Every structure is written in structure tokens, then in C-alpha cells.
Amino acid sequence: MASEYQVLKITPMSRVADEGGIERFYRVQFKSKGGVVDFVTIEEKDYTPDKASSILSKAAKNADAILGL
């Protein structure tokens, strides 16, 4: 578990692209350090450990900041 979040579930998804063809993406459900459960959508090109970690960290920090309001 990373310090800011814990990944709960990863759901691969696809949709029809505006330009035609199929776009693949991933819906990643996570739980923040503060206990907020949320999800982010990560495009296939960004679905690497480094990029996904950055996206999830930022989302978890934002969720915890909103929780603190």
C-alpha cells in the first residue's frame, strides 16, 4: 500500500472513440489515507506503474483535502 492510497479494484473498460475505433481505459477504485473511497479513470497510455501512481496520489490527496473542509 502506498502511503496516500490503497487500490481496491481495477476495471478494464472500453468505448467507441470520437475518431472511430476503440479506446481502452481503466477505472481504478481506491481508498485514501483518510478513508475516502473514490475512483479515477486512467487512459491506456498512462496505465504504467509510475504514471498510475502519480495520478492516484494526486486524487487521494485531493479527496482527503475535500474531506477536511
- Counting every residue written for the chain, the total comes to 69
Q: Evaluate whether 7 touches 30 at the Cβ level (below 8 Å).
A: yes
- pLDDT score recorded for residue 3: 79
Instruction: Indicate the domain borders of the chain.
Output: 5-67
pTM (predicted TM-score): 0.87
In sequence order, the 6+-apart residues with CB closer than 8 A to the CB of 49 are none
**Residues facing residue 25 across a β-bridge:** 13, 43
- pLDDT score recorded for residue 5: 96
- pLDDT score recorded for residue 1: 45
C-alpha cell at 34: 483518510
Q: Evaluate whether 63 touches 33 at the Cβ level (below 8 Å).
A: no
Digits of tens for pLDDT over the chain (69 positions)?
447 999 999 999 999 999 889 999 999 999 999 999 999 999 999 999 999 999 999 999 999 999 998
